[in-house]
Structure 1
Amino acid sequence: MTVFIYLALFALLLGGIGMALLRLDARQIASTLRMSAPVALGIFGLILTITGRGAFGFGLMSLALAMFTRARMRARTTPGSRGNRKSRVRTAALEMELDLDTGEMNGLVLAGRYEGQFLADMKKEDLYVLIRELEPDPESVQVLEAYLDRREPAWRDDLDPDMDEGLRAPPASGSMTEEEAYEVLGLSVGATESEIREAHRSLMKRVHPDAGGSVFLAARINEAKDILLSRHR
């Protein structure tokens, strides 16, 4: 009889979760399921343990704990999560990240002699070597210029004037996937139209060329907005 009572309580719990999900949008549903599924599984494992099925119950509780820990880590690193909103732009040689809350920018070198190094850990002299090395790659150059403008405002005075002119070749950006568009705007999959427009406005204030930003970054942000808004048309 006790088993049926516990099972009935478990069923009520699932029913409550289901009713709550009906009031959420797609992004919120995905987030809620990631957190509530391991909780429900853990409760079921506890029920089995209490009713004498400890071997199976402990296994379910261990699995639930692992799932819950993974879900929390994912929530902290998901683009667009509160307190950790980041915009990411990739080129052939760089992966740049802009913190939407603090405005701080950093990047990871993906190719060349400095591969695997973060820009924030590099000396400015090494950054100057890197930007010369990237001269054949206008997209990467424009992204690195945006970073240098924030970190070393007078960096152009340290470079050969002729070299600086050569670094200003127009970017030839490749096509962007929907997944990349979400990363560029710092949003989670399933973001609403209003969230897309708000993220676009916030980013453009930080990287627009008129505000000392980058033409390439501004173009990528506009492209990301257009791709995601096309889903709502």
Structure 2
Amino acid sequence: MIYLLLGLVLLVVFIAMMRQFVQANPARLAQSIRTYGGILLMILAGVFAVTGRFALAIPAFGFGLSLLGLAGLRNLSGYNPQKTAGQQSQVRSAMVEMELDHDTGALSGTVLAGSFQGRRLDDLTDEELQTFWQEAHQDDQSLKLVEAYLDRRLAGWREDFEPDATHRQRSASSSGPMTDEEAYQILGLSPDAGDAEIRAAHRRLMMRVHPDQGGSGFLAAKINEAKDTLLRRH
């Protein structure tokens, strides 16, 4: 009877793992494998203990517990501190504030200065985006953010937009070292996030914005800077 029950449990765990395999991204899949593997080993430890095989029950229990770990226990309980600050990262410059959705990788933003102040980038027409892109040449940080947005929204925009604005003088000034508040906003974390959460958020976001994945080199650099800033503080 015990082995029949164990077989049913194994079947349920296998089905759940297959669903996770189909739906999850690589990071979540690895976490799910650790979680379900830990659960399975804990169940086996219980079976060994009930049948009196304590020599097998103890190591199975210890290994299962190590697989689950704190992250696995948080996953089972539904507690996920990485998402307490929401599902978006924010990067702000003099002329635009950009948001990156962690789940979808979608990039959106709000114009802070210029002819389209207060409007969402998603609401601008292609012609209006071209005008704003030309205005953004006065601030290098803003220009890089706008171009990262254009890379996501308009394939081939570099050939379509007029190149005359590229000859305008760009501001070489820097806003100075990144503050802790900016770093937390970029990583989408709350100020009480620990080192493990900072590294996890960094890995998750780099999967979305890394240039090798068709993302933005500027945003990837900002995410790296945010991680380094917070880890130095910690």
TM over 0.5: yes
Task: Compute the RMSD of aligned alpha carbons.
Answer: 2.7
Q: Which residue of 1 aligns with 2:219?
A: 217
Distance 1:171 1:229 in 2: 26
Q: Secondary structure at the match of 2:94?
A: coil
Amino acid across the alignment from 2:229: I
Q: Which residue of 1 aligns with 2:229?
A: 227
Matched, 1:131 2:130: no
Amino acid across the alignment from 1:117: R
After TM superposition, give the deviation of residue 194 of structure 1 in Å.
Answer: 1.1
Q: Which blocks of at least 5 consecutive residues in structure 1 are unaligned?
A: 1-27, 29-77
After TM superposition, give the deviation of residue 161 of structure 1 in Å.
Answer: 3.9
Identity over aligned pairs, percent = 52
Distance 1:94 1:207 in 2: 18
1:178 paired residue among 180, 183, 195: 180
1:54-75 Cα distance to aligned partner (Å, 9 max, x none) = xxxxxxxxxxxxxxxxxxxxxx
1:73-121 Cα distance to aligned partner (Å, 9 max, x none) = xxxxx98338x41100000101000010111111010011100000011
Distance 1:90 1:140 in 2: 8
Q: Which residue of 2 aligns with 1:193?
A: 195
Q: Which blocks of at least 5 consecutive residues in structure 2 are unaligned?
A: 1-73, 75-80
Q: Secondary structure at the match of 1:219?
A: helix
Matched, 1:100 2:93: no
Distance 1:105 1:97 in 2: 6
Q: Do 2:198 and 2:227's aligned partners in 1 also have CA atoms closer than 8 Å?
A: yes
After TM superposition, give the deviation of residue 189 of structure 1 in Å.
Answer: 1.2
Distance 1:140 1:80 in 2: 27
Matched, 1:81 2:107: no
Q: Do 1:142 and 1:215's aligned partners in 2 also have CA atoms closer than 8 Å?
A: no
Q: Secondary structure at the match of 2:189?
A: coil
Q: Do 1:86 and 1:100's aligned partners in 2 also have CA atoms closer than 8 Å?
A: yes
1:169-215 Cα distance to aligned partner (Å, 9 max, x none) = 88845321111110000011111111101111111122222333223
Q: Do 1:80 and 1:86's aligned partners in 2 also have CA atoms closer than 8 Å?
A: no
Instruction: Please report the TM-score for the alignment, with normalisation by the length of structure 1.
Output: 0.60
After TM superposition, give the deviation of residue 162 of structure 1 in Å.
Answer: 4.9
Paired residues in the alignment total 156
Amino acid across the alignment from 1:228: L
1:126-145 Cα distance to aligned partner (Å, 9 max, x none) = 00000001112111011011
Distance 2:178 2:98 in 1: 15
Instruction: Please report the TM-score for the alignment, with normalisation by the length of structure 2.
Output: 0.60
Distance 2:169 2:145 in 1: 11
